[in-house]
């Protein structure tokens, strides 16, 4: 069975909203309603109808100003700001659904371990076992400065910090042992105090006495997700992840990545089959193959617009951790002549953008390089469904994480066009057998 997820890449933030800004048509009332729950509830009900495992909600907590040394572009275009805290959105999305999981993002520098453990235990109860935790290390100095740091930690140290963070969180989540809750009405005994103990954790980055002051949720420890592509990121995922998003540009890269990660998971004594690796993809779906190809051509042409080029340069600056201002570099500069040693952000994402581009200019990369590709998933629902099956057969599993603009048209194309085509081929679930996110991830 192919597992499916939806990556809400703009988080609980402003969704595609301006035709002139390069977002295109079908943006509806996003410009005024992005902060309301309606479109996110519609997304959840639509993707549940499509049999998706989960929706993963990105998050950032800053107003980015590394591009051209000002926040003007970020605020004029609505890039990563404004953005709301995703946590209160989670129970609203699950209230109208019964099966799909919701995975909000928690940064290790934004959420102290005790706060995170308590918050996700609470969400696990409110969602009846359908919440997961996307663990990130945050990207830029601006985020770090919003939480009391002078600058962000270096890339690899951030992942050592994340390992310790997950360890503390999980110890806190396990501080109420099985059988601790008695709920004995007749003898007026709620909990057995001998089964609720402090953890007394003292580490390099965090310390917490514990125990947690709330009871475990239906999943006990909500599933963990991450997106690391670097060595440090892969190691974190191998230790803890239940599902992981991967950035691969070809079927061969997907295959190599999955084999490598399954080997790493096994090294830590974990079952590789219990971890679902979902590959980021931007499918192009239309009523016919010809229409989809025309749609893809139009999307490629749109990348040459001033609005698209501005976004790509801005995104490159952000992805570097705010350490490289691509808006200040002559666009005719060859990639080989750009100093990337200063970057301290999403190192694997930067590598993906500039992959095999040493002899190209920055101008050429901006117009042609895709951080996330369609992997050949272009065509009618039947064509895309067939190709998805072929890719998964070659890669060996586990599924795809769709990254599309959050519009109701895209939701309908996936839920009411692609999903039925996949279901006719027996490639995705026809109904959910489990009641929790963890159970859905483990379904074969």
Residues of the binding site: 59, 105, 155, 159, 230
Binding residue ranges for FMN? 59, 105, 155, 159, 230
Residue 313 burial by CB count (10 A; 0-12/13-18/19+): exposed, middle or buried?
buried
Distance, CA of 155 to CA of 333 (rounded, Å): 26
CA distance 356 to 426: 37
Q: Where are the alpha helices (DSSP H) in 112-250?
A: 113-126, 141-146, 155-173, 231-240
Q: Which two tokens mark 373?
A: 């590709």
Nearest to 295 by CA among 386, 391, 405: 405
The angle at the Cα of 426, spanning 407 to 278, to the nearest 5 degrees, equals 55
Q: Is residue 235 within 8 Å of residue 137, measured between CB atoms?
A: no
Between the CA of residue 220 and those of 132, 339, 395, what are the distances in Å?
A: 11, 46, 32
Closest CA to 135 of 281, 16, 239: 239
| C-alpha torsion sign, points 142, 146, 151, 154 | negative
- Residue 276 Cα to chain centre, angstroms: 14
Q: Is 33 helix (H, G, I), strand (E, B) or coil?
A: helix
DSSP per-residue codes, 103-144 = EEEEETTTS-HHHHHHHHHHHHHHTTS-B-EEEE----HHHH
Q: Which two tokens stand for residue 184?
A: 């004995």
């Amino acid at each position: 069975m192919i597992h499916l997820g939806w990556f809400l890449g703009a988080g609980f933030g402003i969704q595609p909203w301006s035709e002139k800004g390069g977002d295109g048509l079908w943006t509806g009332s996003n410009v005024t309603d992005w902060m309301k729950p309606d479109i996110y509830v519609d997304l959840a009900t639509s993707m549940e109808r499509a049999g998706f495992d989960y929706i993963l909600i990105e998050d950032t907590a800053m107003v980015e100003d590394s591009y051209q040394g000002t926040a003007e572009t970020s605020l004029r275009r609505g890039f990563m700001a404004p953005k709301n805290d995703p946590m209160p959105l989670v129970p609203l999305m699950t209230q109208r659904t019964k099966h799909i999981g919701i995975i909000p993002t928690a940064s290790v520098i934004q959420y102290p371990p005790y706060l995170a453990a308590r918050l996700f235990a609470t969400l696990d109860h409110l969602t009846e076992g359908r919440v997961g935790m996307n663990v990130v290390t945050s990207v830029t100095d601006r985020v770090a400065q919003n939480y009391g740091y002078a600058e962000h930690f270096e890339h690899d140290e951030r992942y050592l910090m994340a390992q310790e963070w997950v360890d503390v969180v999980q110890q806190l989540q396990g501080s109420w042992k099985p059988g601790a809750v008695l709920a004995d009405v007749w003898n007026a005994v709620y909990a057995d105090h001998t089964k609720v103990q402090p953890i007394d954790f003292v580490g390099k980055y965090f310390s917490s006495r514990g125990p947690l002051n709330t009871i475990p949720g239906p999943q006990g420890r909500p599933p963990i997700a991450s997106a690391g592509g670097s060595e440090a990121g892969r190691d974190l995922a191998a230790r803890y992840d239940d599902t992981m998003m991967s950035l691969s540009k070809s079927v061969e890269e997907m295959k190599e990545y999955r084999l490598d990660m399954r080997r790493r998971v096994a090294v830590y004594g974990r079952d590789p089959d219990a971890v679902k690796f979902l590959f980021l993809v931007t499918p192009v779906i239309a009523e016919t193959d010809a229409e989809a190809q025309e749609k893809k051509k139009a999307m490629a042409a749109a990348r040459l617009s001033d609005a698209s080029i501005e976004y790509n340069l801005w995104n490159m600056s952000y992805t570097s951790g705010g350490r490289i201002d691509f808006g200040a570099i002559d666009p005719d500069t060859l990639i080989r002549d750009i100093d990337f040693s200063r970057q301290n952000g999403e190192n694997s994402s930067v590598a993906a953008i500039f992959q095999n581009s040493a002899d190209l200019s920055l101008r050429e990369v901006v117009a042609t390089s895709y951080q996330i590709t369609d992997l050949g998933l272009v065509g009618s629902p039947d064509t895309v469904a067939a190709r998805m099956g072929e890719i998964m057969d070659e890669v060996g599993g586990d599924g795809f994480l769709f990254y599309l603009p959050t519009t109701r048209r895209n939701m309908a194309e996936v839920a009411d066009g692609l999903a039925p085509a996949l279901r006719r081929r027996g490639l995705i679930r026809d109904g959910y057998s489990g009641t929790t996110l963890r159970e859905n991830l483990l379904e074969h």
